[in-house]
Chains A and B, each alone.
Chain A
């Protein structure tokens, strides 16, 4: 069962998913874990949040959204906030998402749908501490 941790209380996660029902449930799950959560169904809205003041520690985004691919959102988000961690979620596996220009670094966390609350918590925790190899170049 997922539980909150002291570290989570100081961390903020921005969730992007165009499925409103899923977005609302994922937001609630992350809040239960103790994170501060901002949710949006609109990737352009996510970029607006990126330009606003305040910390965002993790961008949790679907790989396939109608307005903008998750990879493009992550790329533009990292331009605005270079230090942000990104966790992709998708119904596709890590190899299939390469067709959507998501190339994960070795060992980089990834959230495969459908996921349980415990899988969500593990992936978020891992993504928040993950560092890609120094020589890794993002596509």
Chain B
């Protein structure tokens, strides 16, 4: 008896697909109780652990997959699709529920393990845990009556594309306070001299590639 005769409640559009060799193979493998038959028809081919690891590494680097730092629960399979390998999580699989903020991700235990290992590796790399290289912007008000050695400066970082900083670090009053601040950021003596000279003549100066460590940011209560 054709499979479609046994599943007569299905939409007609699925009937042709149900007769396909791939679906017969699927049923023969014992997955006939799956509730999401349409999804089953679109099941992705199994990827090797090495290929999956590479895919996860790429997605973490691109920011389309987030590091795991939330709640993780193990449970019985719920026939949902694993977003890592794109295959269904079926009976017999262990399903990992990863909750990060408002987002819940259900994944195979094996896929989750690779994700966790790769996310840990990313967290251990220096660029994520130690420092940020960023342009530093120093700006003062411009116009008549402004005395550069005593004026207020706004020191901010970020904003490589705008020519303006994003987050304010401090607002030192006068060159003396500005010099103390720049020394605290480990800016070279010559660079500080250049900054003061430039700011005597114009209202904006940018120092590129300043290293901001988490310790420095904490000092500024950021």
Contact = CB atoms under 8 A, between A and B. Distances in A.
Nearest to B133: A21
B132 A114 contact: no
A114 B102 contact: no
Nearest to A22: B158
23 contacts: A12-B101, A19-B158, A19-B166, A20-B132, A21-B132, A21-B134, A22-B159, A25-B222, A29-B167, A38-B101, A42-B63, A52-B104, A53-B104, A54-B103, A113-B162, A114-B154, A114-B156, A114-B165, A115-B166, A115-B168, A116-B167, A117-B222, A119-B168
B111 interface: no
Nearest to B62: A42
Given A24-B132, A42-B63, A45-B64, A64 B162 contact: yes
A37 B101 CA distance: 7
Contacts of A18: 161
B156 A53 contact: no
Interface in B131-182: 132-134, 137, 154, 156-168
Interface in B69-115: 100-105
B43 to A, nearest CB: 21
Interface string A6-33: 0000001000011111101110110000
A24 B131 CA distance: 11
A24 B134 CA distance: 12
Interface string A83-110: 0000001110000000000000000000
A45 B63 contact: yes
A44 B166 CA distance: 22
B167 A25 contact: yes
Contacts of A45: 62-64
A1 B222 CA distance: 10
Contacts of A21: 132-134, 157-158, 212
A54 B104 contact: yes
Given A25-B222, A116-B168, A38 B137 contact: no
A73 interface: no
B103 A38 contact: yes
Nearest to B162: A91
